[in-house]
Structure 1
């Protein structure tokens, strides 16, 4: 019986946290970061102020949570093993496409862009806590492939930027700027495949997987 109670409370806490984050994201978009108070977020989310402050003691802490959750992946601590750069990059590409397709990711970027002149710290949080950790994971994977001898990359930062850019430039940025922009599942797969082919053609020691 003692095991059930903590599990229940943890589930309720997670549900309330999600309600708070969802309400905060919507209000930041509607009213702007500055005009959105924690009290208003508590009211919109349907939780008490005490509950909100227990989860998030400040508005910056709440925004940090939005960033972290937007960029989180179920397998973020399990990067593809080095040895097959085609399979590895394909897995990373699919993971990245899934991240970029999340509605909250688009909302996050819109908040940051809208508030950048007055709150540059939001952009710094988005970059340092969201984009950069994910970029570092891709960079680390490419470095592992380089050390394994499957690729030869002199500038790993540039290679990671190029690979991710080929995916985001088609799947994400138009969705951010063009109302109604949608990409089919088949098209997403094609974008990822072409990014993998281009990267391996440039950096692979052998042309492994190019005929797949």
Structure 2
């Protein structure tokens, strides 16, 4: 009986250590970016030794997966299902973009640090590809009530890809536009097609 109790306590301690490591990784990935985060920095922040990090996460992919899952659970993407109830195309677009830009605004430093590293990091590209379907669903939900086919539909798709792009939003914010201004700008672009 004592052996079973000790194994359970050990499993609880191991899980707590794993959670500390994941929390440290998320904090560092958000503050400096995944590629500027060393295993040593994660270990120091988690209060463990480097070998402990490697024991829990033998590969960088495993660490990135755990970090992404934690970040995603704490910061769910906007839900386009709610936008589907809005029949008016521009009202739906404005509501969706407002929610997306609030999400970007709340997480801007973290998103910048993470998304900046994706292009050069295969494990991050894989993780982002898994989430890209969610962003495609948002864009498609915004596109549904707009009429058009052929070239017009291609342009609408391109405009909406731009409208839901973090880097396009960030550039507009850096040029002094508020979220409401950016919604107006993007709605005007789509309306002009």
TM range (shorter): 0.5 to 0.7
Partner of 2:133: 133
Provide the secondary structure at the position in 2 that maps to 1:190. Answer: helix
Q: 2:6 matched to which residue of 1? A: none
User: Quick one: structure 1 residues 27 and 106, their matched pair in 2 at CA, closer, same or farther if it must change by over 3 Å?
Assistant: closer
SS of 1:81's equivalent in the other structure is helix
Structure 2 unmatched runs, 5+: 1-15
For the residue of structure 2 that corresponds to 1:172, the secondary structure is helix
Q: Which residue of 1 aligns with 2:83?
A: 80
Please give the root-mean-square deviation of Cα atoms over the aligned residues, in Å: 3.9
Q: Structure 2 CA distance, aligned partners of 1:58 and 1:141?
A: 37
Structure 2 equivalent of residue 43 of structure 1: 44
Which of 198, 207, 211 in structure 1 is aligned with 2:189? 198
* Contact 1:28 1:111 (8 Å CA) reproduced: yes
TM-score, L = length of structure 1: 0.58
Aligned to 1:172: 170
Separation of aligned partners in 2, 1:158 and 1:61:
39
Is residue 59 of structure 1 aligned with residue 55 of structure 2? no
Q: Secondary structure at the match of 1:194?
A: helix
Give 1:65 shift: 4.7
- Which structure dedicates a bigger proportion of its chain to helix? 2
Quick check: 1:19–1:45 contact (8 Å CA) kept in 2? yes
1:138-159 CA distance string (max 9 Å, x none): 34314542xxxx5234465652
TM-score where L is the length of structure 2: 0.62
Structure 1 Cα separation of the partners of residues 72 and 171 of structure 2: 16
Whole-angstrom CA distance in 1 between matches of 2:68 and 2:171: 18
Q: Tell me: CA distance 1:67–1:76, structure 2 relative to 1, closer, same or farther (3 Å).
A: farther
1:20 maps to 25
**Following superposition, which runs of at least 4 residues in structure 1 exceed 6 angstroms of deviation?**
none
Structure 1: runs of 5 or more not aligned? 1-11, 176-180, 203-212
SS in 2 for 1:163: helix
2:160 is matched with 163
Which residue of the partner structure matches residue 9 of structure 2? none
Match of 1:209 in 2: none
Q: Number of aligned pairs?
A: 169
1:162 deviates by 1.3
CA deviation after TM superposition for structure 1 residue 134, in Å? 3.4
Are the aligned partners of 1:20 and 1:52 in contact in 2 as well (CA < 8 Å)? no
